[in-house]
């Protein structure tokens, strides 16, 4: 099984196209994931078109074409709850001059990502094992990132409590969502008031193959986050702000 390239779809949906080299690396990543997936269940999404849409297109759609990002700079980026490496790994391949931290609490997943980083020679990315609630308080990570990404980790207000402490003032958080309900937006706004963030914009997409609904929520950090956040492990999920 080989990944489709779909240059025209990249162009039509995001006004952007991957280079030959990026296509090669994505293919390599795909093959590595298929191989490991025979032993441990990393991802259910393994069919070529499914993988292309849900892991590649979706990961990139969240960060491409934003007029408030300084793409040429060496941005510091964190992917919180990266799982098998999404959205972080495809982004790491496309932006080799960015510095990525891939964070997950599951040691098994991080070990596998380390293998991928080695195989693909992605020297711009590092991994961290731990909980966002703990790592977000460490000096080397707190308020040091330009961009924080989070996909499929929890409710929006919980994601906000995980992401905001990592961002510099002026930095951007991206919540990768499917549907986007008014109530979620209200809850998120309540959380952001306490965390020092505000919603900049919400982008809506239809995914190019299956026409599923996607929303990307862009949050700007406007003030330092109180040391009270994130709260202890488990509390953000049990008692969302
Ligand atoms: N972002 C990936 C994986 C989503 S599954 C994707 O979209 O494909 C959610 C992942 O978040 C799991 O791998 C889980 O281990 C991790 N996770 C959940 N809560 C976490 C926390 N508090 N801190 C760090 N990682 C967390």
CATH of the domain at 169: 3.40.50.150
Question: Percentage of the chain with pLDDT > 90?
Answer: 98
The answer to whether residues 135 and 107 touch, using CB atoms and an 8 Å cutoff, is no
- pLDDT (tens digit, 9 = 90+) per residue, 28-57? 999 999 999 999 989 999 999 999 999 999
Within a domain: 206:
yes
Within a domain: 70:
yes
Within a domain: 90:
yes
Helices H / strands E in the chain, number of each: 10, 7
Instruction: Tell me which residue range forms the domain holding 228.
Output: 7-238
Whole-model pTM: value is 0.98
Average pLDDT (170-179) is 98
- Quick one: tokens of 161? 């409590």
Q: Kindly give the distance from the C-alpha atom of residue 15 to the centroid of ligand 1, in angstroms, as a whole number.
A: 30
Q: In what side-by-side order are the strands of the sheet with 125-129?
A: 125-129, 99-104, 76-80, 145-151, 167-177, 213-221, 197-206
Within a domain: 1:
no
- Residue 161 CB–ligand 1 contact under 6 Å: no
Number of domains in the chain: 1
Residue minimizing CA distance to atom 17 of ligand 1: 81
Within a domain: 2:
no
């Amino acid at each position: 099984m080989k990944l489709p390239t779909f240059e025209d779809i990249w162009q039509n949906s995001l006004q952007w196209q991957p280079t030959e080299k990026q296509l090669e690396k994505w293919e390599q990543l795909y093959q590595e994931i298929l191989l490991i997936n025979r032993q441990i269940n990393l991802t259910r999404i393994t069919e070529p078109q499914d993988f292309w849409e849900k892991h590649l297109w979706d990961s990139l759609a969240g960060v491409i074409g934003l007029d408030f990002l300084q793409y040429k700079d060496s941005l510091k980026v964190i992917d919180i709850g990266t799982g098998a490496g999404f959205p972080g790994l495809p982004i790491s391949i496309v932006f080799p001059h960015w510095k990525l931290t891939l964070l997950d609490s599951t040691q098994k997943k991080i070990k596998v990502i380390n293998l991928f980083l080695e195989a693909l020679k992605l020297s711009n990315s590092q991994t961290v094992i731990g909980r966002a609630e703990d790592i977000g308080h460490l000096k080397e990570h707190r308020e040091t990132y330009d961009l924080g990404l989070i996909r499929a980790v929890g409710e929006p207000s919980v994601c906000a409590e995980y992401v905001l402490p990592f961002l510099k003032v002026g930095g951007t958080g991206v919540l990768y969502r499917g549907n986007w309900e008014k109530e979620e937006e209200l809850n998120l706004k309540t959380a952001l008031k306490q965390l020092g963030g505000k919603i900049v914009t919400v982008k809506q997409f239809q995914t190019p193959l299956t026409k599923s609904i996607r929303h990307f929520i862009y949050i700007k950090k406007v003030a330092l986050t109180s040391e009270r956040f994130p709260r202890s492990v488990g509390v953000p999920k049990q008692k969302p702000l």
